Amino acid sequence: MTDAHVLSALGFDVTRTEGGRRGIAEIVPEMHAPGTLAVRTSILATWVDVVAGHLALETIVPQVPVTLSLDVHVVDPRRPVRAIQADATVVKHGRTVLVVRVDVIDEQRRPVALGSATMMASPVPGLTFDPVAAHKDAPHHPNVRLDVPFTDHVRCVREAPGSASLPLAPNAVNASHTLQGGLIGLAAEEAALSLFDDGEAAVSSMVLRYLRPVRVGPAVGTAVRVGSFCDVTVRDRG
């Protein structure tokens, strides 16, 4: 399972709904934030990116959608969750940009997080997506399960206080052949958490701006702490 794509390993299944797209997933201990029983905020960000991306395919295909910005705000970053449901709906569809809202609830239908994503068609010439494949539900992999901590699966390591990195591996890329957007969030999350002495610190909000893709790797996050907040820059070291 170590070679499974990160989206398969996270077990996120996406289907159509009347108003948009819905993703569901079971939470396993390997997804927990360090020292807590709650799912990592970067994993929630990954799922927000995925379900919003599937919804974007409905309008952007055959061009490949890319994420311009993404945010996720967690109600209680330490609350245990056994399963999540993420519902994506279109907020605004312009000629070039799509804005998507994602509501995340748990198995008891309690709010877990509120996310949003702003997406556009990739400007890369010739990069397209199969219209037939774009409108299929995401494949279900019932025998694939994350069996090591999320950071170990993608080989994300803390290099020093305020710094974390992860490589660009075949199981970590998106349709644009660059690092999956949620993993950029993981590099930022790990860089930020490394600056806190509390082993149970968790990220309650994450706001990502995608200014340049990671095409070579590794992606390196560098965090500066400002009180209880962190400003993190993630760059492609390659």
Query: What integer pLDDT is reported at residue 215 of this predicted model?
Result: 93
Phi, psi of 140 (to 5 degrees): -100, 135
* 50 alpha carbon, distance to own chain's centre: 7
Per the listing, tokens 């056994």 go with 82
Beta bridge partners of 115: 72, 102
Query: pLDDT tens across 109-154, in order?
Result: 999 999 999 998 777 666 666 655 544 444 445 456 788 999 999 9
Query: pLDDT tens across 54-96, in order?
Result: 888 877 766 777 899 999 999 998 889 999 999 999 999 887 7
**Kind and range of the H or E run holding 168:** none
**pLDDT of 163 over the 80 cut:** yes
Q: Mean pLDDT of all residues in the chain?
A: 87
| Strands in 48-181 per DSSP E | 65-74, 83-93, 97-106, 111-121, 157-160, 163-166
Query: What integer pLDDT is reported at residue 130 of this predicted model?
Result: 61
Query: What integer pLDDT is reported at residue 140 of this predicted model?
Result: 45
